Amino acid sequence: MKPWLSVGVILGVVWSTSSFFPESGAPLVTDLGPQAPEVSQDPYDPAGRSFTFCRVRYRQVRREPMGQGWRTDYPDADRNLMLRLSQLTTTPIRRTTHNEPDHIIISLSDDELFGCPFIFMSDVGTVA
């Protein structure tokens, strides 16, 4: 292998891994990421008949390789779970005004948490 190519490969590896890991000694504190979409209604189903998927949003204190914090697979996983639940069971699910599978983004400090029958957290090893 040519020396310049070796140097380029080494620099590329060092640069790419440094973007995954914070500098030592200083914890990484990130914002909560993109704002959650407006929900069509509160999580409480007045009739008590539909399943609501609630994803917990949190602040990260460190990064993990390939981790995205609370946003991992968001919003595709949320929609897919609701869609498959409605297709494979007789469980009615929460839907938007356009009859699409709906979900909620909440924080653990939100009062709406108590209206969620199911909460989901991803990459919880990075929670602040």
User: What confidence score (pLDDT) does residue 15 get?
Assistant: 47
| Domain map (residue ranges) of the chain | 25-126
- Walk across the sheet containing 118-120 and list its strands: 103-106, 53-56, 118-120
- Of 69, 54, 48, nearest to 122 by C-alpha is 69
User: What confidence score (pLDDT) does residue 123 get?
Assistant: 82
Question: CA-to-CA distance for 113 and 118, rounded, in angstroms?
Answer: 9
DSSP code for 41: S
Helices first, then strands: H and E counts in the chain = 2, 3
pLDDT in tens, the chain (128 residues): 566 655 555 555 444 444 444 444 434 444 445 554 444 445 555 555 788 899 999 887 677 676 678 888 889 999 999 999 999 999 999 888 888 888 889 999 998 888 888 899 988 877 76
User: What confidence score (pLDDT) does residue 73 get?
Assistant: 87
Question: CA-to-CA distance for 121 and 128, rounded, in angstroms?
Answer: 13
